[in-house]
Structure 1
Amino acid sequence: MSFQAYLDNAEKKTGKTPQQLVDLAHARGFGADTKSGEILAWLKDDFDLGRGHGMALVHVIKNGPGISDQHVGSSGVHRDESAVLRLDGLAAR
């Protein structure tokens, strides 16, 4: 599954865009220095998200929407279309 697909599916499960989840995390004080486990626990407790979806959100909460271009344009299962993830939600596309 691509990085973007994890974020899109997290939106479907929670009803919140990735950006809304990032904003909620930042409002709680989560950021670059927060341990991943803290963020994962919050996402599980408040939104019932599992580790895969949670880790995709951990990345954008801690690092922003940029990702490695390792899989961009590849034909593998983990391919993404861009090295910048869309956080604005499915309705914006």
Structure 2
Amino acid sequence: MTPEELQAFLAAFDALPLGAFTGKAGGRRYAAVRLDLAEGKAQKLLARELGSTDCISLNLYRLASGARLKPCEMPAEKVVRFVLSLQVTE
């Protein structure tokens, strides 16, 4: 991921609300939860498509050396694309 792509991803991620919410990405509806852990140094996003089996899961670590994205059993491109396209509806 280029530095510009990382900055766009982080901005989109930080714009998501903490706690549970619903949203749309790629024309699909998702129930999601965003958590801050370790005083914001670790963050988690879990989203499940409503009425289907698609799932997005990632951990994001805010280290002194920079942000580290760790998707859970899926390509980083999938979670980046999802976060960039996710629009909160509730």
- Normalising to structure 2: TM-score of the pair? 0.25
TM-score, normalised with respect to structure 1: 0.25
Richer in strand (by share): 2
**Structure showing greater relative contact order (alpha-carbon pairs closer than 8 Å, 6 or more residues apart):** 1
